[in-house]
Structure 1
Amino acid sequence: MGHWWERNIVEPGKLPLLLALAAFLLTFVVTRVITRLIRAGKGPFGNVKAGGVHIHHVVPGVVLTVVGGFGAVASDRHGTGGVVAAVLFGMGAGLVLDEFALILHLDDVYWTEEGRKSVEAVVLTAALVGLLLAGFAPFGVNDLTRQELQDRGGALSTIAMNFLFALVALSKGKARVAVFGAIVPLVALVGAVRLARPGSPWARRFYGNRPRARARAVLRAYRHDRRWAAPRRAVQDWIGGKPDPRPARLPGGR
């Protein structure tokens, strides 16, 4: 284990990336716990205000991201400064993406249906960073044996193939499958060979003159969403908290 850690994490300079990912996830979890306690009226926590203005945690998140980002650029990635900068950057990114939906909608939608986009952004970001961390690229590793070169070459070939399948899945309107397929073998392949979602670039390009294919795509998307919408919402609620119910609309659209 120690040899693997040295060869694949320390020697290629991936320790700052690992610490940034750990800080990112820990900050997101702690932030969600605190905000849920505030929402429930429990614990010693409360909203931060200055001059009557609610200071969202995206504000210190931006500060930490800027400090950590510039600190990482100015520091040696193998030195203490690079490690500290990576942790600060991970913390800032966790705070910023926890309010990704607020930035997207320019409105306080944290506990609304639109706020689920923040959870999705965090999960997808963690998956992509995990892919970078788990990569078996030989760059930065010295004196590789023939067996190590073969192992890493095979891993790189698999990753490259999965990446191509992920691009096809992305063009078919399957963003989540594309991201996780780049990490988990065969997931991207399944997304690449299945029908495209209606309105996706693939569907517009290849289903334009194929009414049967368009109809099958619409039917399959409907069945897929109907089957997986509830489990996906349950997972999102478990991670980020259940959103507030939408207010009932009065007759006449008011």
Structure 2
Amino acid sequence: MADRSVVAWTLGAFVVTFLVTRLVTRLIRAGRGPFRDLSVGGVHLHHQVFGIFLLLITGATALVFRPADGWADATAVGFGVGAALTLDEFALWLRLDDVYWGPEGRRSVDAVLVAVVIGLLLLAGFSPFDDDPADGPVAGVVVVAVNLLFAVPAILKGRTLLGVCGLFVPLLAIVATCRVARPGSPWARWRYPPGSAKRAKAERRFPPGRRSRWDPLVDLFAGRD
């Protein structure tokens, strides 16, 4: 069972840092307030750089010193801040380009929202591992393997949120795995050849320009062009 105090501090720091970061970047973009982009030698320094270093520091601290009590919570806060700064520019990992405010930049917000959902599941007591110590490590490995059996196809079908949540609640991944894949997903490219009935069904289910229930929340942070 995850330490809920550590999860709560991590999640709280993560959410606050993300919200503050988005506010500051919007002010910089609008040319308002005292905030400005950071540059070193004429090279723009992205805030994910600070996040990566903070993740390295807090990760090493947790592994080497195994902090307890208040120090564990402080380490959790540092990790949450670093994770938010890093995931807020997740799209830049994929594109290796500054797409923060472009359409591709919406993937950063997707990644952050998925991370928040995972944090909430952990806080609620869900775990992708076997929580009964009496069952031994083998049982834990079997549980994870079975969860992945359904979660991976769901993610490959473009049902990322349900696939990730399925690691904690397997029924969600099973439902997503049984449903049609999104046309642009890896699964559709591999299993739905052009002109096939499955391809036609996927395109009817997900027509160009279709918006999901998730999109308004992404718009709130990423904006909509």
Relative to the length of structure 1, the TM-score reads 0.68
**Greater mean deviation of Cα atoms: 159-168 or 223-232:** 159-168
Whole-angstrom CA distance in 2 between matches of 1:163 and 1:38: 41
* Partner AA of 1:100 in structure 2: F
Deviations 1:195-220 (A, max 9, x none): 33456448846x67xx98x3234333
Q: Which residue, 17, 41, 47 being the options, matches 1:57?
A: 47
SS at match of 1:42: coil
Whole-angstrom CA distance in 2 between matches of 1:239 and 1:37: 13
Within-5 A mapping of 1:34-113 = 34-113=24-103
Whole-angstrom CA distance in 2 between matches of 1:14 and 1:65: 20
Whole-angstrom CA distance in 2 between matches of 1:22 and 1:112: 27
Whole-angstrom CA distance in 1 between matches of 2:97 and 2:187: 30
Whole-angstrom CA distance in 2 between matches of 1:233 and 1:53: 33
Whole-angstrom CA distance in 2 between matches of 1:115 and 1:19: 27
Whole-angstrom CA distance in 2 between matches of 1:218 and 1:85: 50
Q: Give the Å deviation of 1:89.
A: 1.2
Question: Which residue is equivalent to 2:157?
Answer: 172
Q: Which residue, 8, 26, 42 being the options, matches 1:18?
A: 8
Q: RMSD in angstroms over aligned alpha carbons? A: 3.5
- Asked whether 1:223 is paired with 2:223, we answer no
Computing the radius of gyration from Cα coordinates, the structure with the larger value is: 1
Whole-angstrom CA distance in 2 between matches of 1:85 and 1:225: 45
Relative to the length of structure 2, the TM-score reads 0.76
Question: Which residue is equivalent to 2:177?
Answer: 192
Q: Does the CA contact (< 8 Å) of 2:154 and 2:163 recur in 1?
A: yes
Whole-angstrom CA distance in 2 between matches of 1:202 and 1:116: 22
Q: Does the CA contact (< 8 Å) of 1:172 and 1:203 recur in 2?
A: no
Whole-angstrom CA distance in 1 between matches of 2:8 and 2:75: 12
Question: Which residue is equivalent to 1:125?
Answer: 115
Q: Give the Å deviation of 1:54.
A: 2.0
Give % identity: 40
Q: Give the Å deviation of 1:167.
A: 4.0
Q: Does the CA contact (< 8 Å) of 2:182 and 2:206 recur in 1?
A: no
Q: Give the Å deviation of 1:168.
A: 4.2
SS at match of 1:135: coil
Question: Which residue is equivalent to 1:148?
Answer: none
**Greater mean deviation of Cα atoms: 68-77 or 33-42:** 68-77
Q: Does the CA contact (< 8 Å) of 1:48 and 1:56 recur in 2?
A: yes
Deviations 1:28-71 (A, max 9, x none): 11100111111122222221233333221111111211111111
